[in-house]
A and B are shown apart, each in its own frame.
Chain A
């Protein structure tokens, strides 16, 4: 595929993510503005942070007048999981991709763009990555703008219900591969089980939510790697055909 087609293909893969981001970022804009942060600052946070859990937590701490160190540390801990994702992605990037390109599209690595990229069969090109992340960046920013402007007129019941959007997207990403691959299903269940233990067993309560995510992920993926090692490209996955294949290249070309 040419670079243009790659970009286009990536962009169509990113579109459903972008649309799914709107209700989530709208909720963020709503929360920030109702807490007393100006709309432009809320938009700036989304544009520069581009993350859900981290910026929700960080913004809450800003609203609570927490210290800069606490804000920075909390955000960092929640975001350490990106190290794992980025490391995982490093194995799928072609060696021809330059440092500058990596520095730019790396900004757009989120839970969702990472998941979609890592489920591609082939090596990833920079054009694909740029295409993939551009829609979600726009969706996240525009949703925040929308939420901070019209949020106040939105009925509370609808705003509350929208809180589930982010998680529903996660479910849409993991269920299809888990349906096809027994190891994937087992790993998801094991990781969740470990997460529940870390969260609810009383004497483990000192572990912050960010560290909990990292520990449960490492343990779950580690147990999976030991029990069901992936020996070739086909094995891990069953995931290859992600459920977002609706966005195929041919449709992209028409535009």
Chain B
């Protein structure tokens, strides 16, 4: 058990450091247009990368995951907020899974 707790502590540490280091150390305004644009675009790039292709395996099976993905894209395109999009995707993936295993 102590080993697990040490591991948890180390995990927490290496999660916390990258989060706070830049906002603590870096307090000047960046002047470079390129760098500003780069940082502005980071959230879109990183969320896209985190989502695809991993979402297609997220429920353990391809087809239900694909169905859930399509549902999420559709609901988000319709301007629905976080929770409806997440619930819609879960529900669609669940139903697709049921249909698949009939």
Q: How would residues 33 to 57 of chain B score, 1 for a CB under 8 Å from any chain A CB and 0 otherwise?
A: 1111111111111111111111100
CB neighbours of A1 from chain B (8 A): none
CB under 8 Å from chain B, chain A span 105-135:
106-107, 109, 111-112, 114-115, 118-119
> Are B22 and A176 in touch, CB under 8 angstroms?
no
Counting contact residues on chain A (CB < 8 A from B), the size range is: 35 or more
CB neighbours of B97 from chain A (8 A): 157, 160-161
Interface of B is mostly: helix
CB neighbours of A51 from chain B (8 A): 15
With A93-B23, A165-B86 in contact, is A184–B44 under 8 Å at CB?
Answer: yes
**B102 part of interface (Cβ distance < 8 Å):** no
Which residue from chain B places its CB closest to the CB of A84 in the assembled complex? B42
Task: Tell me the smallest distance from the CB of A60 to a CB of chain B, in Å.
Answer: 11
CB under 8 Å from chain A, chain B span 14-39:
14-16, 18-24, 26-27, 29-30, 33-39
CB under 8 Å from chain A, chain B span 51-100:
51-55, 58-61, 64-65, 68-69, 72-73, 75-77, 79-83, 85-86, 88-91, 93-94, 97-98
Task: Tell me the smallest distance from the CB of B88 to a CB of chain A, in Å.
Answer: 7
Partner among B45, B64, B76 whose Cβ is within 8 Å of the Cβ of A161: B64
> Are A216 and B29 in touch, CB under 8 angstroms?
no
CB under 8 Å from chain B, chain A span 143-169:
157-158, 160-169
Partner among B53, B72, B90 whose Cβ is within 8 Å of the Cβ of A162: B90
The 9 closest A-B pairs by CB, nearest first: A106-B20, A168-B89, A175-B76, A161-B94, A167-B55, A172-B85, A225-B37, A76-B14, A220-B45
Known contacts A172-B75, A184-B41, A220-B48; can you find 19 more A-B pairs with CB under 8 A?
A20-B86, A48-B8, A68-B6, A75-B11, A82-B19, A88-B43, A157-B94, A157-B97, A163-B58, A166-B58, A167-B51, A167-B55, A168-B68, A178-B44, A190-B45, A191-B45, A191-B46, A213-B49, A239-B44
